[in-house]
């Protein structure tokens, strides 16, 4: 479904990603782990059109999307839950959720159905719908951020560090919802520092390592070996223990 090949991305004159290859197949939950500064957020922002791609290709369902504007990418079926949540604090929970469907116009009934689905996944939000988002706890804000992305009815959901700053019990609940979405067939790419939690629900994983040599692997090869040169990804091909 998602294919990244030879991706180069720069922050000004500084190269953040060099020759990155990554695949996410339909129905998979693939996790991407690595230390701060390795380029995980940069990769997601490049996929969603928020950062320019210097070289390489990004395709979604066989259609090139590198260089497309974010709204076009959302309309094609990719939504992202950003690190830090980036909610509109003064707006109500309901307003924040409805904004998630703005780029995917729908009949009122479909929008209502999407909202009900989000509230079924995150029942704690039902009593908070009129409450300003800035008054919520960190865990509730993360629920709103995920729900907002789901309102766009994505075929591919990108999540950037959804566990950051949350208490362990809240992380458990968030990851339980992601596991439900995985079993329902939603395709996801999950960026995480909490590797233990991520690998409990992931089908496959990559490690993005800063500095030195790139580890880029073909997921179809199944060998677990990676050609190395620069910054990049090391494919974890072993079955992830549940």
Largest CA-CA distance found in the chain, in angstroms, rounded: 52
- Alpha-carbon radius of gyration of the chain: 18
DSSP result, 148-163: HHHTT--SEEEEE-TT
pLDDT of 14 over the 50 cut: yes
Complete domains list, the chain, with CATH: 1-77+155-242 (3.40.50.300), 87-154 (no CATH)
pTM of the model: 0.85
Structure tokens at 241: 């223990």
Which segment of 14-23, 42-51, 137-146 scores lowest on mean pLDDT?
14-23
pLDDT digits (tens, 9 = 90+) for 122-155: 999 999 999 999 999 999 999 999 999 999 999 9
Specify the length of the chain in residues.
242
pLDDT digits (tens, 9 = 90+) for 54-101: 999 999 999 999 999 999 999 999 999 999 889 999 999 999 999 988
For 115, phi and psi rounded to 5 degrees? Answer: -65, -45
pLDDT the model gives residue 35: 79
pLDDT of 232 over the 70 cut: no
Q: Which positions ≥6 away from 56 have C-beta within 8 Å?
A: 4, 5, 6, 7, 8, 19, 20, 66
User: Alpha-carbon distance 103 to 226, whole Å?
Assistant: 38
Structure tokens at 137: 């706890």
Q: In Å, what is the CA distance from 28 to each residue of 114, 190, 217?
A: 22, 10, 17
129-134: list long-range contacts, CB under 8 Å, 24+ apart: 129/92, 129/93, 129/94, 130/92, 130/93, 130/94, 131/92, 131/93, 132/89, 132/90, 132/91, 132/92, 132/93, 133/87, 133/88, 133/89, 133/90, 133/91, 133/92, 133/93, 133/96, 134/87, 134/89, 134/90
pLDDT the model gives residue 105: 60
């Amino acid at each position: 479904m998602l294919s990244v090949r030879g991706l180069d991305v720069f922050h000004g004159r500084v190269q953040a990603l060099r020759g990155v290859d990554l695949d996410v197949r339909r129905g998979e939950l693939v996790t991407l782990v690595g230390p701060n500064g390795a380029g995980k957020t940069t990769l997601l922002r490049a996929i969603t059109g928020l950062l320019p791609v210097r070289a390489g290709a990004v395709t979604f369902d066989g259609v090139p999307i590198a260089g497309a504007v974010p709204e076009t990418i959302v309309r094609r079926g990719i939504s992202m839950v950003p690190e830090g949540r980036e909610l509109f604090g003064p707006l109500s929970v309901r307003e924040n959720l409805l904004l998630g469907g703005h780029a995917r116009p729908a009949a009122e009934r479909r929008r209502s159905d999407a909202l009900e689905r989000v509230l079924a996944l995150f029942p704690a939000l039902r009593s908070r719908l009129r409450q300003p988002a800035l008054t919520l706890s960190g865990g509730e804000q993360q629920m709103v951020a995920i729900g907002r992305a789901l309102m766009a009815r994505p075929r591919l959901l990108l999540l950037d560090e959804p566990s950051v700053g949350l208490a362990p019990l809240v992380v458990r609940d968030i990851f339980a919802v992601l596991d439900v979405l995985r079993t329902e067939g939603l395709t996801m790419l999950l960026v995480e520092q909490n590797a233990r939690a991520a690998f409990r629900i992931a089908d496959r994983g990559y490690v993005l390592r800063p500095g030195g040599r790139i580890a880029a692997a073909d997921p179809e090869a199944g060998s677990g070996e990676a050609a190395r040169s620069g910054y990049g990804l090391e494919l974890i091909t072993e079955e992830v223990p549940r």
